Amino acid sequence: MTNHKIKYYVVTTLFVAIVMLQFFVPWLGLLPLGAFVIGASATIIPFTVAIAGVILGPKYGAVVGMFWGLFSFINAITHPGTIGSLMFQNPLTALLPRILVGYLVGWLFNRLLRQQPNRIKLLGLGGLGVLAALINTIGVVLLTTLGFTIMQTNFTGIPQHNLLGWLISIVSFNAIFEMIVGFILVSVIGNILLPIAERSEIKG
């Protein structure tokens, strides 16, 4: 195994460990925004996965996203009894949007931004943070709608009609704030970590 691959494996493992901590230690993975807007909070794990995609490229970004999805799936299986756990007991819902966050953000950064001047790169990173929030939210909503419809889920609190509209009404409020947080976090942290990664010859 070459030193180059070892570096990628080590950094990928580090990102997976960060995602695991954020997932299982709630105050590390959730940014409460109640001081600004009552009831608002932002899940920040999508942005960790997005930054992994930016630093490591689409393949390793997808691996980090896959582990996030696996944590969601295992947690849903071992802690049943809520609508949230029911959503993520579907492995497609748990895995696919999270893998796509890491892969698509990494691919778009390599394709469109890696060679751009710093000012454009900074704005582009913010845009990728917004995209990460959208991919995760839209993917989970659409796959949950599909899964609940196919399985004809009967669970207290889940409507039998206009399921998609009901899910959108639940997630849309927080999704707005997650996009704002994603723009800030991915642009700022990505701009700090990219030069360090390039000096270490880690270039997606």
Please give the Cα distance from 170 to 158 (Å, whole number): 12
Structural domains for the chain:
3-199 (1.10.1760.20)
Q: By the 8 A CB rule, do 43 and 185 touch?
A: no
| Digit-coded pLDDT (tens) for 89-101 | 999 999 999 999 9
Query: Tokens in use for 186?
Result: 């991915």
Whole-model pTM: value is: 0.91
Which of the 8 DSSP states describes residue 112? I
CA distances from 139 to 17, 39, 75, 99, 112 (A): 24, 23, 19, 11, 23
For tokens 């930054």, what's the residue?
51
Each residue's pLDDT expressed in tens, for the chain with a length of 204 residues: 677 788 899 999 999 999 999 999 877 887 766 544 445 567 899 999 999 999 999 999 999 999 999 999 999 999 877 777 888 999 999 999 999 999 999 999 999 999 899 899 999 999 999 999 999 999 999 998 888 887 766 665 677 777 788 788 888 888 888 999 999 999 999 999 999 998 887 877
Q: What is the structure's pLDDT at 35?
A: 43
pLDDT digits (tens, 9 = 90+) for 23-51: 998 778 877 665 444 455 678 999 999 99
